[in-house]
C-alpha cells in the first residue's frame, strides 16, 4: 500500500494505475468496521486488475459546528492499518492547506435535496461535502466511488452532483453496518456517555417497529410522532428530526408505491446520531 500526502505525490502514484478500474472511497478518518465494509466493497468492484484509493481527510469546510470539528476523533495510524488490511492500494491523506487555498472563492450549491433533513439544520454542510468530493473526484479521477447509506442524504446529493455535472463516475451505495445491538457504526459513537451508548440502539428498534407500522398502512405523521416521542423519553435525548420522505426526492412521499425513507437525527447529549431505514408498502 502506498500513501500520498500531496497532490503531486497522488498524481505520480496513480499514474501507473490508470486505464483500469479505479475505485475511490472518500473518508474523514477515524475508520471503523463501517468504513472497512466500504473498502471491501471497493476492493471487490476493482477486482484483481483494478485499484482502490481511500482518502482520509477531515474536511473542515463541511462542519457547521466548530466543536464537532474539534472533537472529531483522529486515528491516522490505525486508519492506515485498516486500509492496508482491507486491500487498499493507495491512501490519500492531505492536510487542509494541501486541499484548500486560503483565498478559495468557488463554492458548490445543491438547491433541492439539501434543503431538508440534515441540510435544514446544518447550513453549508452539504455544500462543503460536494466541494470536497468534487475536488477528490478531480484529483483521483476514479471510475467508481463508494459511499455508505447511513449518510443517505449525502449519497442522494452526490448522485445528483455527478448526474447534473456530467461527472463520469459510477456511484455505489453500501448498506449500513451495525453493532450486534443494532446501533449504526459511526465515528461519533465513541463520544457517547455510557448511558447514551446503552440507550442508542433504541433508534434501530424504533425504526424497525416504524417499518411495520408503515407496512400496515399507518399515516406517516403518526409514525414519525411516535418515534420522536419514544426517543425523547430517554433522558438527555432531543430529536433534530424524524421524517418519512420519498427515498429519491427526499421530499414528502406522495406515492405509496415508491420506496420511502424514514430518517432520524437525534442528539444524545452533545453527540448527534443519524440513522435511517428504507420502507415499502408492497
Ligand atoms: O461521509 C463522510 O465521511 C464525508 O462526508 C465525506 C464523503 C468523506 C466527505 O468529506
3 state SS of 178: strand
Tell whether 179 is covered by a domain. Answer: no
Q: Which domain holds residue 272?
A: 187-277
Question: Whole-angstrom Cα distance, residue 207 to residue 262?
Answer: 7
The active-site residue, picked from 35, 112, 125, 196, is: 35
For residue 75, what is the domain's CATH number?
3.40.50.620
250 lines ligand 1 (CB under 6 A): no
Q: Of 174, 200, 228, which closes a domain?
A: 174
Q: How far is the CA of 98 from the centre of ligand 1 (A)?
A: 17
- Residue 264 sits in a domain whose CATH number is 3.30.1300.10
Quote the CA–CA distance of 163 and 186 in Å, as a whole number: 28
Give me 264's grid cell.
432520524
Residue 162 and residue 194 in one domain: no
Q: How many helices (H) and strands (E) does the chain have?
A: 11, 9
Which of 131, 146, 174 is at the close of a domain?
A: 174
The domain boundary residue, chosen from 174, 196, 214: 174
Of 223, 251, 227, the residue nearest 116 (C-alpha): 251
pLDDT in tens, the chain (282 residues): 999 999 999 999 999 999 999 999 999 999 999 999 999 999 999 999 999 999 999 999 999 889 989 999 999 999 999 999 999 999 999 999 999 999 999 999 999 999 999 999 999 999 999 999 999 999 999 999 999 999 999 999 999 999 999 999 999 999 999 999 999 999 999 999 999 999 999 999 999 999 999 999 999 999 999 999 999 999 999 999 999 999 999 999 888 889 999 999 999 999 999 999 999 986
Q: Is the CB of 186 under 6 A from ligand 1?
A: no
Instruction: Answer yes or no: is the C-beta of 28 below 6 A from any ligand 1 atom.
Output: yes
How many distinct structural domains can be found in the chain? 2
CA of 132 to the centre of ligand 1 (A): 8
Distance CA 44, CA 33 (A): 16
One domain for residues 151 and 68: yes
Taken in order 23, 25, 26, 29, the sign of the CA dihedral is negative
Q: Are residues 157 and 269 in the same domain?
A: no
Beta strands in the chain (DSSP E): 2-4, 22-27, 51-56, 90-92, 144-148, 170-174, 237-246, 260-268, 271-279
Amino acid at each position: 500500500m502506498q500513501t500520498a500526502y500531496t497532490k503531486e505525490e497522488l498524481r505520480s502514484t496513480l499514474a501507473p494505475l490508470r486505464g483500469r478500474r479505479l475505485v475511490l472511497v472518500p473518508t474523514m478518518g477515524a475508520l471503523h468496521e463501517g468504513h472497512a465494509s466500504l473498502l471491501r466493497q471497493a476492493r471487490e468492484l476493482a477486482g484483481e486488475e483494478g485499484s482502490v484509493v481511500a482518502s482520509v481527510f477531515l474536511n473542515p469546510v463541511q462542519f457547521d459546528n466548530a466543536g464537532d470539528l474539534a472533537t472529531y476523533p483522529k486515528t491516522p495510524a490505525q486508519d492506515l492499518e485498516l486500509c492496508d488490511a482491507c486491500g487498499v492500494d493507495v491512501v490519500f491523506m492531505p492536510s487542509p492547506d494541501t486541499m484548500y487555498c486560503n483565498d478559495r472563492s468557488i463554492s458548490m450549491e445543491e438547491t433541492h435535496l439539501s434543503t431538508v433533513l440534515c441540510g435544514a439544520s446544518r447550513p453549508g454542510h452539504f455544500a462543503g461535502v460536494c466541494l470536497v468530493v468534487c475536488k477528490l473526484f478531480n484529483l483521483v479521477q476514479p471510475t467508481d466511488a463508494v459511499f455508505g447509506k447511513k449518510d443517505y442524504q449525502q449519497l442522494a446529493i452526490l448522485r445528483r452532483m455527478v448526474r447534473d455535472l456530467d461527472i463520469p463516475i459510477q456511484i455505489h451505495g453500501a448498506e449500513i453496518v451495525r453493532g450486534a445491538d443494532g446501533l449504526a457504526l459511526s465515528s461519533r459513537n465513541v463520544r457517547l456517555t455510557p448511558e447514551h451508548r446503552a440507550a442508542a440502539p433504541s433508534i434501530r428498534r424504533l425504526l424497525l417497529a416504524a417499518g411495520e407500522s408503515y407496512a400496515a398502512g399507518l399515516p406517516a405523521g403518526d409514525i414519525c410522532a411516535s418515534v420522536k416521542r419514544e426517543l425523547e423519553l430517554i433522558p438527555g435525548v432531543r430529536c433534530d428530526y424524524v421524517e418519512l420522505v420519498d427515498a429519491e426526492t427526499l421530499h414528502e412521499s406522495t406515492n405509496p408505491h415508491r420506496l420511502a425513507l424514514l430518517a432520524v437525527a437525534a442528539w444524545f447529549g452533545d453527540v448527534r446520531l443519524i440513522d435511517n431505514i428504507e420502507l415499502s408498502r408492497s
